[in-house]
Structure 1
């Protein structure tokens, strides 16, 4: 073997060894997390171990394969691909470690424990077995490698909790698409003649985002639409379609149409009308989109929404019928209890006496949002200063109720 071959092989093996050692250190760091948050360590450890084991095996294959290869045949591309996958695992490991530190130190204001309990409540109804793992991150998202749901830091409020339900939808897509609706998105793209379009991957991602919006609304009710319209949607760029997300104008129209289709008893009409009026006012105030505004009745957009919902909604109803949010009467009752005041424990006790069961977290979140729409800063007219103070009070009270309900060994349903 010539000198060049020896040196090339040495460098290749050194880089393999460095990656191998980093994989070991990542699991050692996770092991250290057991002391600060043992429950979440157990939930994440198996998943991380599987990811690390897969890359360890891949590195071993590369190491064995190099023995008979010439310098020109050394699989640098294979090493680069493995390094990329390892770096993604390390990034998720770091996110997890930072998130568990924030949780164990109480720096998340208890929001992750509440989100865990809310996701457990929704996944129990949907029968999907989500392992209940949430951490804080710059933006809400779902980690497909580890099934970790990330909540936005530092939004420690009841108003942002519904975004967790959207991320749960991504878990449903990952876990259930192959068995329950394997061709759903392909069928929609085929009907739209976009299956072979060069833009198909982005179109599929946008359909998945809309599915998650639908799942969140189906399982959590109007609260998710409230969070999207009030906290997330941007009217000044509402007609801009990001790579992986539909435009905000289309998403608002989608959510309002979903609420209409789910509102068999016309319970949501006042919420739908209020959200639509708020959105249209924002769009007009931002200086455009009136002629293109899907939420205001653009016929092409409305037709597309109806076509896609005609395929997605029956799929969800067929496979997740028990997951549908039926807690609107309880949400209105919780709104009254929040307005009446008292400690979180007193509010839970009054609700339980009235309904002969504890409140569900979904009812608390919807009740808080209903108050905000019609008694808080979104009512018309509004005293902004007093409304701001009231928002903080209701958020604190509602989140306190959620913390009480999120304590271990709670059983509640919104049925």
Structure 2
């Protein structure tokens, strides 16, 4: 056997492996929309054809990524079937479906499970949002709104309909601002245009998640994700948490102001939620943004305003809470839960009620478990 024969052998084996991986999806075919299935089938056919033609450039890496998404999707469906409506994975699908409906017309992303111990991710290859196996519970569902923003920015043509120019354009504007400012406080000294764009997109996704979920998103980040000694740590593609949370708080302030000026009936939920978020931030950081320079606060305020202007163009994305949040939070506090058909409340309402309840005072593990069970039954 010569080297060429060995390469052909390996290519044939990889082709057979890809076919086996594709067949894993068969039992879950009915769970996917036609659009979702067609998208996966296009990727399968693409890489299968490339293997048959023995194309080398990028084929192996692409097949690896596609197979990883397939396994993530299948395992997520298996665990969902096991847990039924009680689990957080079905709630994740419902949340993404509700967000897609509010942003529509937008395809609903797929969901799967991430096995590596890192944050949730979104795969542009298959439009798959991966949940962490170790963190896929009810309390971390707000992070899916951040990942959904990445999906919108990359995939959805609907983002371009807004009068302010679309989320992609705002992301690019922020990246240009960073470059023209010489990166200033944002940079770790090794910036490139690609990294500026990715950091800008993370900021846009934070503003989006806060805009569409309200208090639940910053509460989740501050309570579960941010270490008090890591507020100013800058990562390769993420701004520091201090800058990210400041943008979230600015977003909540802008939503509160819009509710005061645009609504005929007074809605005090956004203002109260903003107050609670700022108190939580002071507890975590010891300040209310005063450690940042004036230029930092001004820049973040301007960028946040640009993003919310675009989001206002969608009309139905802004989350301002509802009476149901107070009702659900009251039921959790008093323990006077009610039996009702599932789906009465949105996932966004359930998350906001649950986080308000949980952060109001110390809760025991039994109380937390009971609250999760009740909230999942309501949405």
TM above 0.5, yes or no, is yes
CA–CA distance in structure 1, aligned partners of residues 18 and 135 of structure 2? 32
Max Rg structure: 1
1:230 shift after superposition: 1.0
1:186 pairs with 2:172: yes
Tell me the equivalent position of 1:367. Answer: 353
User: What are the within-5 Å matches in structure 2 for residues 2-401 of structure 1?
Assistant: 7-31=2-26, 33-34=27-28, 38-40=30-32, 45-62=37-54, 79=56, 81-106=58-83, 109-131=86-108, 133-138=110-115, 139-155=119-135, 157-176=137-156, 179-180=160-161, 181=166, 182-194=168-180, 199-264=192-257, 265=260, 267-284=269-286, 294=289, 297-318=292-313, 320-345=314-339, 358-374=344-360, 376-377=361-362, 387-389=363-365, 392-401=366-375
Q: CA deviation at 1:155?
A: 3.6
Contact kept? 1:343, 1:397, Cα under 8 Å: no
Q: Which residue of 1 aligns with 2:264?
A: none
SS of the residue aligned with 2:131?
strand
Contact 1:108/1:156 (8 A) holds in 2: no
TM norm structure 1: 0.76
Aligned mates of 1:176, 1:132 — CA distance in 2: 11
Q: How far apart are the structure 1 equivalents of 2:35 and 2:367?
A: 34
2:74–2:112 Cα contact (<8 Å) kept: no
Cα distance in 1 between the residues matched to 2:156 and 2:35: 20
Q: Deviations over 1:370-406 (max 9, x none)?
A: 22232x22xxxxxxxxx325xx42553354343343x
Instruction: Report if aligned partners of 1:136, 1:150 keep a CA contact under 8 Å in 2.
Output: yes
Moved more, 158-167 or 249-258: 158-167
Shift of 1:103: 1.8
Report if aligned partners of 1:235, 1:248 keep a CA contact under 8 Å in 2: no
Shift of 1:150: 1.9
**Cα-to-partner distance string for 1:33-91 (whole Å, 9 max, x where unaligned):** 43xx84149775433321121112223444xxxxxxxxxxxxxxx51521111111122
**Aligned equivalents of 2:112, 2:339: Cα separation in 1:** 26
Call closer, same or farther: CA 1:337–1:369 in 2, change over 3 Å: same
Query: For residues 322 and 22 of structure 1, what CA distance do their matches in structure 2 show?
Result: 44
Cα contact 1:332–1:370 (8 A) shared by 2: no
SS where residue 243 of structure 1 aligns? coil
Q: 3-state DSSP class of the match of 2:239?
A: coil
The size of the alignment, in residue pairs, is: 354
Q: Is the 8 A contact 2:233 2:240 kept in 1?
A: yes
Q: Distance in 2 between matches of 1:85 and 1:186?
A: 27
Q: Using the TM superposition, give the Cα deviation of residue 196 of structure 1 relative to its aligned residue in structure 2, in angstroms.
A: 10
Greater mean alpha carbon deviation, residues 303-312 or residues 102-111: 102-111
CA contact (8 A) 2:255 2:318 kept: no
SS in 1 for 2:2: helix
Q: Is the 8 A contact 1:345 1:401 kept in 2?
A: no
Q: Which runs of 5+ in 1 are unaligned?
A: 1-5, 63-77, 285-289, 350-356, 378-386, 406-415
Q: TM-score, normalised by structure 2?
A: 0.82
- Return 5+ residue gaps in structure 2 as ranges: 184-190, 261-267
Q: Provide the aligned C-alpha RMSD in A.
A: 3.0
